[in-house]
Chain A
Amino acid sequence: MSEQSKVPEQAAAKMPWEEKPVPPQPEEARDHPQVQELEQAVPGAVLEAVRFAGQVTVVVELSRLLAVLGKLKELGYKFLVDLTAVDWQDRPEGRFDVVYWLHRHADAARLRVKVRVADGVEVRSVVHLWPTANWMEREVFDMFGIYFAGHPNLERILTWEGFAGHPLRKDFPVEGVDTGAAVYPDIYPPGGGPVKPKGGA
């Protein structure tokens, strides 16, 4: 009797939110239609193609970046959703990833294009393809110090002109750096931190 009553309990399937979540796994995506399409348009441009959590990422060579992005725009990716960078401090293939996240309205397909850039190497600007890249590239320049060649107005955007350093680099301290802007350096220590009590102790 007791055994019988146990059986339905075991048989009752657990709901997906009661179980331990299964994280997505990266898969090779060279034969994914979006990658195939790009491969046909610009042969040999794709260095790596990965599919993770349903999103396709292709890594392309820096020298062919503009050709690839130009072709992708012709293929219908008219909307540059996002442009950003990631700092992988000591990576031998190049310190930064510059990431383009593109959208095509016809079939709601999204594609992530990545390019690996060493510190101090210029990336070609894409402002002429997508005007929206203007501020995004300025932000990447401001935050990471990556130069975009051919940008109409590559200035700092979130920090001020004359600011030293690029805040989103991994070697930039979270506490900030002394910018020389402290008004009362004896009370408010340069670079932030707790306020010193007045009069010693």
Chain B
Amino acid sequence: MPVLEAVLAGSEEMEVSFGPQHPATHGVLRLVLKVDGERIVDAKPIIGYLHRGTEKLFERETYPQCIPHTDRMDYTAAATNNQGFVGAVEKLMGITIPPRAAYIRMILAELQRIASHIIWLATHALDIGAVTPFFYTFEEREKILDLFEEYCGARLTLNTMRIGGVPWDLPEGWTDRCRKFVEELPRKIEDWERLLTNNRIWKARTVGVGVIDAEKAIAWGLTGPPLRGSGVQWDIRKVFPYDRYDEVEFDIPVGTHGDTYDRYLVRMEEMRQSVRIIRQCLDKLPDGPVMAWVPKVIRPPKGEVYFSVEGPKGELGYYIVSDGGVTPYRVRVRPPCFVNLQALPELVKGHLVADVVAVIGTLDIVLGEIDR
């Protein structure tokens, strides 16, 4: 019912369209909110505005040609997307990658996780009204992008992994610059936390907003920080270690209340854990080749595998069905954002319209991945 008619008719509930062109929806997400005054009665996400048919495109590209397409799904975390896809093909072909390649992948993936969390923190805080963190955090993200640029020439769509390893060795002096960055970062994270963690306005806007308990979170299929915020110790890097994650030490931070504030604390701690992993990787970085022996033409055997990595947003899985040809028969991407977004109506019911913005931010969605 149009808004004016609803008001004239004296109806309590009305429908408001939120997005798709709205700065706080992080892309082209549309929400149809059923509101009673300022209270949300129901919310219905409408997606698909960015659908590019990536899964269909995979079916006509050869396996190596698919890798750049993965960059363009979650465009804030290209390295982890690459990691998932090449890992799935390697599993399908039985390739073991050299340890140096695995360590380089881990460094890139953890840098990417920090960069992705920085975008989340900056935009989430910006949406809620804290403008300052944006300027401080993006300075650090810039340094990560510079490191990426130096390594592979790209800043956003990295295309930085190959089936069987990584395409290049690290440039000279890269490890020193990377180490310098990770040594400085924890102090910066402290600075950011000083702006927010005990900030009264920040707490008023996040504590108790968008609460979901552990059992419901599992039923809704949440993964990544939204699941850990509800107190479930769950991380693909620990449960099904890939690359060499079983050789480094790190903790899985978990929350207790499952609200927006806890998810914020979880992600802040995850950045510190990523720093810890990168430090260990730089210390242990073995010598040797960065590419395994792979055939000139990638032609995996007939079969199907599912391989998942812990992306910054949650469990990013690739289900590849091969018919023995040079192109995949079917590639299904299990997008963490798609599944996490589904729980949004559950999280916002009963809250105020202004809290919707906080909940969208806390789910850390990227529409490029949701719509594929």
Contacts and interface: CB of A to CB of B under 8 A. Distances in A.
A24 B303 contact: yes
B64 to A, nearest CB: 15
A21 B96 contact: yes
B98 interface: yes
Nearest to B342: A135
Contacts of A18: 289, 292-293
A81 B221 contact: yes
Interface in A90-140: 99, 101, 105, 108, 110, 112, 130-132, 134-136
A82 B293 contact: no
Contacts of B292: 17-18, 21
Contacts of A15: 98
Given A79-B218, A82-B317, A101 B306 contact: yes
Nearest to A110: B306
Given A84-B332, A174-B57, A158 B289 contact: no
B44 to A, nearest CB: 9
A86 interface: yes
Contacts of A16: 96
A171 interface: no
Contact of A17 (B55, B289, B317): B289
B219 A17 contact: no
A167 B56 contact: yes
Interface stretch (B45-53, B78-86, B186-194, B201-209): B45-53
A135 B92 contact: no
A101 B319 contact: yes
A17 B95 CA distance: 7
Contacts of A23: 92-94, 300-301, 303
Interface in B298-318: 300-301, 303-306, 308, 315, 317
27 contacts: A17-B95, A17-B164, A17-B289, A18-B292, A18-B293, A20-B293, A21-B93, A23-B300, A23-B303, A53-B92, A53-B94, A53-B305, A55-B306, A79-B218, A79-B221, A81-B317, A84-B319, A101-B306, A105-B218, A110-B306, A131-B219, A131-B221, A135-B338, A135-B342, A157-B48, A167-B56, A168-B56
Contact of B94 (A21, A105, A136): A21
Contacts of A55: 304-306
Closest 5 CB pairs of A and B: A132-B221, A17-B292, A16-B96, A158-B48, A23-B301
Contacts of B221: 79-81, 130-132
B330 interface: yes
Interface residues of B, number: 51
A82 B220 contact: no
Given A21-B294, A168-B55, A135 B95 contact: no
Given A78-B219, A135-B339, A168-B55, A24 B94 contact: yes
Interface in B203-247: 218-221, 234, 239-240
Given A53-B303, A157-B47, A167-B56, A17 B334 contact: no
B113 interface: no
A23 B95 CA distance: 8
B95 A174 contact: no
A131 B344 CA distance: 13
A82 B321 CA distance: 14
B305 A52 contact: yes
Contacts of B110: none
B168 interface: no
